[in-house]
Amino acid sequence: MLKVLIPTIALALTGWTVPIKQLWPTTLAYSSIIALISLNWLISPMETGWSFLGLHMATDSLSTPLLVLTCWLLPLMILASQNHISPEPENRQRMYITLLISLQIFLIMAFGATEVIMFYVMFEATLIPTLIIITRWGNQLERLNAGTYFLFYTLAGSLPLLVALLLLQSNTGTLSLLTLQFNPAMPLITYADKLWWAGCLIAFLVKMPLYGAHLWLPKAHVEAPIAGSMVLAAVLLKLGGYGMMRMMIMLEPLTKELSYPFIIFALWGIIMTGSICLRQTDLKRLIAYSSVSHMGLVAAGILIQTPWGFSGALILMIAHGLTSSALFCLANTNYERTHSRTLLLARGLQMILPLMAAWWFIASLANLALPPLPNLMGELVIIVSLFNWSWWTIALTGAGTLITAAYSLYVFLTTQRGPLPQPIIAIAPSHSREHLLMALHLLPLLLLIFKPELILGWTA
């Protein structure tokens, strides 16, 4: 673990010492090397439980794919931000890169933590850099409002979790993930016990977010700069799913009836947010609501507590992380040229940027879960496990899949096909930096087709 964490901490210091002309190439090269080193974690034997075990951190088959995704994303965020941050004053550029690196440090420590309290502290610590990125480098005046929503939704969900964890510590005497799974589960007899159960999960359900507690996400995505949107969609939402999986081991025999309302919200949310996507005019808001829809499926897969459900949830989290981040990058390339997120104002772009249209096509197909992409594998595994749990769920998941296909194709057709508006004929051509960025998002997704066991999780 330390062979990735220590270079990442050193990278944060490098951002302040390197000359400004070499700032972006140096941090990009350094973070790319860290991303390549992190791939070493995937080599570890997946069946043996914990590996790379240190005093406070370790990896296992659940955290490894998320750790690698976190490390993979930093060079991509630096690549994507370069165009609109480089004209800013020197200190602001350095601060921006330092915030991105600090976010990676907190995320590595959150996903690698073997103590639940350490995970909780890092889970909360990720709020600070994200909040600064949204409120300082956001696009419009509403960014302060979006930051407030983001902070208070997440904090309101997280404080009951702290109380629940302290209660768990006093009852079991340990909060180590290595030993908690062997402890006898707490019986849920009184209403206080049931509130404790809810406290353990609500923080993660808000973070995912579950439909009903999702209002902070579209606001945060729309106002955040490109790196903020990328890390929020690709990794920060996955913290919720990861935390739920970890807590579900402790709550496993107890949650059969208590999960029902949350599963209903998750499945209903797939249809509702998909329907909202169909009538969106704002491109970034559409992609944000699409994230809520996909994470609803992940939440349902985790809450039924079957090995298939867990595997499908992990596969879909990784696949969705790469896909939604790629879609936000594509939306940003449009925004940098047309200075508008409105779908109707930036249409027919295939005429001017034909290669970008190819990336749009692949990303849209990945979003609607085209076979044989990992997105489809994750969705199918979750849908089958939900069907096995209750056959009524097929109506909701099936309708959700159809709506997802409809809005994914709608986005592609609206942005790329049709007549080209007169004012945007003279826009700048696409750069090799942008094509590299898209390739680094979508190639891992395509390569996972050939070795999906890397992200299968516990049933590998």
Q: Does residue 244 belong to any structural domain of this protein?
A: no
Q: What is the mean pLDDT of the chain?
A: 90
Q: Does residue 230 belong to any structural domain of this protein?
A: no
Please give the backbone phi and psi of residue 272, each rounded to the nearest 5 degrees, phi first: -65, -50
Sign of CA dihedral 73, 74, 76, 80: positive
Q: Identify which of 297, 315, 163, 313 has the alpha carbon closest to the alpha carbon of residue 248.
A: 313
3-state helix, strand, coil in the chain (%, to 5): 75, 0, 20
108 vs 252, higher pLDDT: 108
Look at residue 200 in the predicted model and tell me its pLDDT: 87
305: left (phi over 0), alpha (psi -120 to 50) or beta: left
What's the whole-number mean pLDDT along residues 223-229?
Answer: 93
Give the number of C-alpha atoms closer than 13 A to the C-alpha of residue 76, restricted to the C-beta side. Answer: 33
Q: Does residue 87 belong to any structural domain of this protein?
A: no
pTM for this prediction: 0.95
Contact 130, 150 (CB under 8 A): yes
pLDDT over 50 at 41, yes or no: yes
pLDDT over 80 at 238, yes or no: yes
Query: Would you call 115 helix, strand, or coil by DSSP?
Result: strand
Q: Does residue 448 belong to any structural domain of this protein?
A: yes
Count of H-run helices and E-run strands, the chain: 19, 0
Query: Would you call 282 helix, strand, or coil by DSSP?
Result: strand
Distance CA 110, CA 35 (A): 17
Distance CA 375, CA 455 (A): 12
Question: In the beta sheet, which residues pair with residue 115?
Answer: 176
One-letter identity of residue 83: N
* HEC per residue, 343-388: CCCCCCHHHCCHHHHHHHHHHHHHHCCCCCCHHHHHHHHHHHHHHH
Look at residue 256 in the predicted model and tell me its pLDDT: 67
Look at residue 35 in the predicted model and tell me its pLDDT: 95
What's the whole-number mean pLDDT along residues 137-147?
Answer: 88
Does residue 421 have a cis bond before it (omega within 30 degrees)?
no
Q: Does residue 350 belong to any structural domain of this protein?
A: yes
What's the whole-number mean pLDDT along residues 315-335?
Answer: 95
Look at residue 45 in the predicted model and tell me its pLDDT: 60
Question: What's the DSSP call for residue 59?
Answer: B
Look at residue 46 in the predicted model and tell me its pLDDT: 59
* Confidence label for 133 from pLDDT (cuts 50, 70 and 90): very high
Look at residue 383 in the predicted model and tell me its pLDDT: 96
Torsion angle of C-alpha atoms 122, 128, 131, 137, degrees rounded to 10: -120
Indicate the burial class of 236 (C-beta count within 10 angstroms; 0-12, 13-18, 19 or more): buried
Distance CA 371, CA 100 (A): 34
* Confidence label for 263 from pLDDT (cuts 50, 70 and 90): very high
Torsion angle of C-alpha atoms 262, 267, 268, 270, degrees rounded to 10: 130
Contact 217, 267 (CB under 8 A): no
* Confidence label for 397 from pLDDT (cuts 50, 70 and 90): very high
Percent of the residues in the chain that have a pLDDT greater than 90, as a whole number:
68
The gap from C-alpha 351 to its chain's centroid, in whole angstroms, comes to 32
Look at residue 253 in the predicted model and tell me its pLDDT: 59
What's the whole-number mean pLDDT along residues 176-194?
Answer: 79
| pLDDT digit string, tens, across residues 103-116 | 999 999 999 999 99
420 vs 72, higher pLDDT: 72
What's the whole-number mean pLDDT along residues 193-203?
Answer: 87
Q: Which domain holds residue 388?
A: 263-459
Look at residue 254 in the predicted model and tell me its pLDDT: 57
Q: Identify which of 61, 71, 99 has the alpha carbon closest to the alpha carbon of residue 3.
A: 71
Please give the backbone phi and psi of residue 113, each rounded to the nearest 5 degrees, phi first: -65, 140
pLDDT over 50 at 433, yes or no: yes
Q: Does residue 296 belong to any structural domain of this protein?
A: yes
Look at residue 48 in the predicted model and tell me its pLDDT: 62
Highest mean pLDDT among 37-46, 59-68, 99-108, 176-185: 99-108
pLDDT over 80 at 32, yes or no: yes
181 vs 13, higher pLDDT: 13
Q: Identify which of 119, 120, 144 has the alpha carbon closest to the alpha carbon of residue 134.
A: 144
Distance CA 361, CA 372 (A): 15
Query: Would you call 340 helix, strand, or coil by DSSP?
Result: coil
Please give the backbone phi and psi of residue 185, each rounded to the nearest 5 degrees, phi first: -70, 150
Look at residue 47 in the predicted model and tell me its pLDDT: 61
Q: Does residue 373 belong to any structural domain of this protein?
A: yes
Look at residue 376 in the predicted model and tell me its pLDDT: 95
The domain tally of the chain equals 1
Look at residue 320 in the predicted model and tell me its pLDDT: 95
pLDDT over 60 at 459, yes or no: no
Distance CA 415, CA 346 (A): 6
